[in-house]
Amino acid sequence: MGYYTVTKITSVYACPQTIIEGSDGDLYWVLQEIKGKGNDKLLTYPRIGKVNMKNNTVTDLKTFGKGEGYYLDPKYPFLETDKSETLVFFGADKAGKELWFARVKLK
């Protein structure tokens, strides 16, 4: 099993990632996929995969967010809430003029 990115910028910068343990014992892999660079910051969007610890499987990564042109906040990309069962993503468009929020239930 392997995960590969196809963007030129990921050969220079590593994609930020976080592993969150859910109350069910499974792990959630939060990957901030790098789309590019702008205004001295990385432009990332969220992708989440579930690692089932009982049967040792990993789901495909699912993309979240508002879509093309909207990226995670570089300083505070997400907040864990509800005992690590929910994530709230924070972001904006590339210019930083239009904000967006996305709440995702991990289970």
Domain chopping of the chain, boundaries: 17-105
CA 105 to chain centre: 13
Rounded to the nearest 5 degrees, what angle is found at the Cα of 18, between the Cα atoms of 66 and 94? Answer: 30
Q: Give phi and psi for 52, each to the nearest 5.
A: -80, 110
Residue 1 has pLDDT above 50, yes or no: no
pTM metric for this prediction: 0.81
Mean pLDDT on 40-57: 93
- Residue 19's pLDDT band (cuts 50, 70, 90): very high
Model pLDDT for residues 25-36, shown as the tens digit of each residue? 999 999 999 888
Backbone torsion region of residue 84, taken as left when φ is above 0, otherwise alpha when ψ lies between -120 and 50, otherwise beta: left
Q: Residues 55-91: pLDDT tens digits?
A: 999 999 999 877 778 899 999 999 998 777 899 999 9
